[in-house]
Amino acid sequence: MAANEHTDHELVVAPDGSIPADQLKRLGVGPGAHLRVIQTPVSRSGGSFAGSLPNFPALTWEDFERASQLAQRDLSSA
């Protein structure tokens, strides 16, 4: 993320370790304000897919076998 790209409540630390004044001003933070820094963990796995897949019904082994048989039948008739 470039120093000038940010969301409404995100601040981007500049290469020299400072936070540009325009970012602070945008959030209404003025001289003398006290800020708390909260680190967000960095995922090494490349991100999360949580919530991106629909909830599937619980399937039994019999359900799987039946679907497999239907798929084999579809392939053999094609």
Q: 7-20 pLDDT, tens per residue?
A: 567 788 888 988 88
- Tokens standing for 59? 């399937």
pTM: 0.36
Which helix (H) or strand (E) is 62 found in, with range? helix 61-77
Q: Are 12 and 23 in contact (CB under 8 A)?
A: yes
Phi, psi at 35, each rounded to 5°: -120, 150
Per residue in 25-55, pLDDT (tens digit) is 888 888 888 888 777 776 666 666 666 666 7
Q: Which of 36, 35, 34, 3 is nearest to 17 (CA)?
A: 3
Secondary structure letter of residue 17 according to DSSP: S
